[in-house]
Every structure is written in C-alpha cells, then in structure tokens.
DNA sequence: AGCGGGTCCCTAACGCTGTTAGAGGCATGG
DNA sequence: CCATGCCTCTAACAGCGTTAGGGACCCGCT
C-alpha cells in the first residue's frame, strides 16, 4: 500500500516528539518510513511545507470548538478554549516552535470568527475582540514556548545563587509549576477582560 | 588590530538585521569580518553560543532599568519597562527567535529581583510576583514573535474571503496595527493586576 | 640574543543537511 | 498493447557547522 501524505505528517510528528524539532531530518524521516529521502518530495513540496502540515496536524487534534453552554459566561468559555489549545500544544515536543509563524489555517477561521462574534456580543467592538483574542494567543504561544524551551535546555543546576537575589529566593518556595504559572497569567488577562466588559455594560453601550 | 568577541557579535547582529536569522551563516559572517570561518571558533565556542551572545547583546542595549519615580504607581512603572523591552526587540529582525529559549542572563537578574521586590511591596506574594512577571514576559515574547513572523512571511494577498467570516470582516476596519494590539493586550493584563492589587489592599494583607 | 607561550588566524577536510535531475517500475484504462 | 498517471529509486550538488593541525606574530623571560 502506497504512502499517503498523512502518513508522512504523522511520522514527522512522531520524530519531533522523540527527538525534537532539530532531530527531524528528511533522510531520517524517510528511513523510518522505509523510503528514500527524495521520495518525500512527491508527498510534500518542501521541508517548510511539511512543517506547516505538522503544525496544522497538531492544532487539528483538539476537539471541535464547542459553543458556549447556555448561561456560561463568555470569559469562562474563552478560558476553557485556551486551556484546551495549550494542552494540545504541550502534548507535542517543540510544538510552539513549529506553530510559531504559521498564520491561522483557512479551516481554523470559522472557530476564530465565532469567538470574535461571542466577544462582540459581550460588548466589545469588533476590532477590540480581535485584539483581545490575539493577545490571548500571544500569551499562550509565549507561555508554551518558554515551557518547552526549558524542557529542551535543562537547568544548569543553579551553580551560585547564595543571597544575591533575595526576593527571587523568597519566591522559589511557592512559585509553583508550569500550570500554575499559566493559570495565573491567564486569570490576570481574564480579570482585565471581565473588568472591561463590566465597564461596557455599565455605560450601557449596546453590542455593535 | 585583532578582532574582539564584541566585533563578532555586532557583525552577527548586523547580518541578522539585514538577512534574517536564517541568513546568518558562519562562513558569511566570517567573510564579512575578513577572516575565515573556522577563525570564528577562537572567539566563540559554538554557533549556539554566538546566538546566546547576540540575544544578550540585543537585550543589553536597553537603558538601565530605572527605579520607579516617587509616587509612580508600580503598575505604570512595570508597563513602561515592558514597552522599552518590546522596542528593543522590535529594533532587531528575528530577535524573538533569537531570544526565545535563553534563560535570563546572570546580570539581568538584579533588575528582575528588583521588579519582584516592587511587586511584593505592592501586596503580592513572592511566588505570585514571579508568576505575574513571567506571564508578562510570555505575552511580550509571543507578541513580538508573531509580529516579526508576520514580517518574515508577508501576507498571501488575501485571496478569497468574501463574507465567509463576517465578524472578522467587520473587525478589519478598526483593528489597528501592531502597537495597538500590544497595548490592548498589555492593558488587559495590567487591569487584571491592578484589580488583584486592589483586592489585596482591601483585605488589609500587609506586604510580606 | 634567544626561547616559550599566548594570541589570532590559516587551509584542508569531514559528515551532515535540503534539494534537484532523471530514470524506472507498476498499476489502470482505452 | 500502449499510454498515463502514481510512487519510488540512485546519483549528485551546493552549502552548512565543525574539527584537525599548523603557522605567523608579539611580548616577557632568562
């Protein structure tokens, strides 16, 4: 049975999961698939193209965006979507590096459009909605990027840090892990968003 | 006069500014400096090491972190620092890619420590302060990353988008540019932070 | 005066990468 | 029986980061 493009993409994801993005070479990938390296060029135009497909594949694995449950605050619904996206990315090594720089695929647009609709429905202007959504996306990307970068480059076993930075030292105890860090930043943004929505509601501006 | 490590780093920054990170090769850099490629290995242990130095160099170009002016709200002071950092990064092409994955240099630590001190002074716990600071850093990194990625990969002249995504279409008019996007996200996080600080002050918890 | 050691650079070469050129085998359908 | 796609092959190229090993130069010591 001949190889499909999807086989190639899936194998690439496996290689990245095992060896990291830097460990993905066309020759290695081809050998794993039992074909020769140039044969990959039949399925894919480019390594860059392959990475685009990998990014798409990783993001496509998350469940179809559910509509907000009746009575569910928009902000909570938004937060849930972000957590799902984050989980999908953290499930694959170096995914942030792969995803970074890929503008949203055409078939990711309906979900984005729906989210923008929800935000404008809650009282933001359309431009504001897009900006807020992009900001949340930037935060998510940056967070996952740093988390995964820390995995790739393990700590240099903290050589000398006696009491040069007392406040950082004090923080070490209750700093928490990656999830706490994300949740705390997220709650910051959502709190700000809630405040803004409340302000809009108070001034009685109807949703545009 | 012999070449110094700083000459090498500065030249590398120039190359990245002109040709992008992908356009930086050791051979090309060496030729620009008038030496042979292996000679670079006397000044630098590795290409990875060179990039670390470049990242350091870019971030070191920002003015020494000023202390908050008397009476200046901590949050405003924080925002100002972030804007300065963002400007420094946007001044150099692909800087986000270079900086990503570099844990803070040892001599950037005092400034971080001071900022944590300011935040705990304002009422956060030490761990909270670090998390908040990291979250702001993640947002900054993600924002710059996406901004610069958009520059590297110019738009595909929006081929087909008639009215498939009406809300996005509606947002196109007042979406604003990169700066507005950043400022909007930033104000979200800062508003959340302000709210949290206010809550702490209200419950009368003394700064730890 | 001569020697040693550090500094800064060289040429040559290795193994690896993404990628192209061009050919071939193997089905299917007219 | 031939043609047309599909899918893969071998051979090769230019370019990459990096290593091995050597050679000038200069400065301080004996």
For residue B55, what is the domain's CATH number?
A: 1.10.10.60
Q: Is B66 helix (H, G, I), strand (E, B) or coil?
A: coil
For residue A13, give its domain range: 5-59
The Å distance, CA of B139 to C1' of C11, is: 48
Last residue of a domain, one of B59, B77, B100: B59
Nucleic acid strand C: bases within 7 A of protein CB: 7-13, 16-22
| Mean pLDDT of the B93-106 span | 88
State whether B195 and A191 contact (CB < 8 Å): yes
Domains contained in chain B, number: 2
Domain boundary among B21, B37, B59: B59
A99 and A144 part of one domain: yes
B92 and B129 share one domain? yes
Probe site for chain A from B127, B148, B154, B157 (most A CB atoms < 10 A):
B127
Distance, CA of B173 to C1' of C30, in Å: 56
Quick one: B72 and B172 in the same domain?
Answer: yes
> Do B134 and B116 share a structural domain?
yes
Give yes or no: residues B50 and B114 share one domain.
Answer: no
Do A75 and A53 belong to one domain? Answer: no
Give residue A123's region: left, alpha or beta (phi > 0; psi -120 to 50).
left
Q: B140-156: string of b/e by CB count within 10 Å (b at 16+)?
A: bbbbbbbbbbeeeeeee
Please indicate, yes or no, whether residues B105 and B190 belong to a single structural domain of this protein. Answer: yes
State which of A38, A59, A80 marks the end of a domain: A59
pLDDT score recorded for residue A204: 60
Chain B residue at shortest CA distance from A147: B101
B139/A165 Cβ within 8 A = no
B208 vs A contacts (CB less than 8 Å): 170
**Residue A117 and residue A194 share a domain:** yes
Between CA A22 and CA B102 the distance in angstroms is 16
Residues A83 and A54 reside in one and the same domain: no
Residue A207 lies in a domain: no
CA–CA distance, A97 with A91 (Å, rounded to integer)? 13
Q: Do B53 and B70 belong together in one domain?
A: no
pLDDT one-digit tens code per residue, B157-184: 665 555 678 887 788 778 889 999 999 9
Residues in chain A closer than 8 A to B130 (CB atoms) = 168, 171, 175
**CA dist A107 → A4, A64, A129, B165, B208 (Å):** 21, 11, 20, 11, 49
Mean pLDDT value across chain A? 90
Q: Which residue in chain B has the smallest CA separation from A197?
A: B188
Q: Are residues A97 and A183 in the same domain?
A: yes
Q: Is residue B130 part of a domain?
A: yes
More confidently predicted of B5 and A2 = B5
**Which residue, among A103, A127, A183, would best test binding to B if mutated, counting the most B CBs under 10 Å from its CB?**
A127
Residue A158 resides in a domain: no
Is residue B95 located within the same domain as residue B173? yes
The DSSP symbol for A10 reads: H
Q: What is the pLDDT of residues A61-92, one digit of tens each?
A: 887 778 888 888 899 999 999 999 999 999 99
């Amino acid at each position: 049975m001949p190889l499909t493009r999807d086989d190639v993409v899936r194998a690439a994801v496996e290689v990245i999961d095992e060896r990291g993005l830097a460990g993905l070479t066309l020759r290695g990938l081809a050998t794993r698939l039992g074909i020769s390296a140039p044969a990959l060029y039949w399925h894919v135009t480019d390594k860059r193209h392959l990475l685009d497909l990998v990014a798409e594949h990783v993001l496509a694995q998350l469940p179809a965006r559910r509509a907000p449950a009746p009575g569910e605050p928009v902000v909570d619904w938004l937060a849930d979507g972000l957590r799902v996206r984050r989980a999908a990315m953290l499930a694959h090594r170096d995914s942030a590096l792969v995803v970074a720089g890929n503008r949203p695929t055409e078939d990711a647009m309906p979900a984005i459009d729906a989210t923008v609709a929800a935000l404008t429905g809650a009282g933001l202007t359309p431009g504001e909605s897009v900006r807020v959504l992009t900001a949340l996306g930037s935060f998510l990307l940056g967070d996952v990027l740093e988390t995964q970068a820390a995995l790739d480059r393990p700590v240099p076993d903290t050589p000398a840090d006696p009491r040069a930075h007392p406040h950082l030292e004090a923080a070490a105890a209750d700093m928490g892990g990656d999830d706490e860090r994300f949740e705390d930043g997220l709650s910051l943004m959502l709190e700000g968003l809630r405040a803004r929505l409340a302000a809009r509601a108070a001034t009685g501006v109807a949703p545009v």
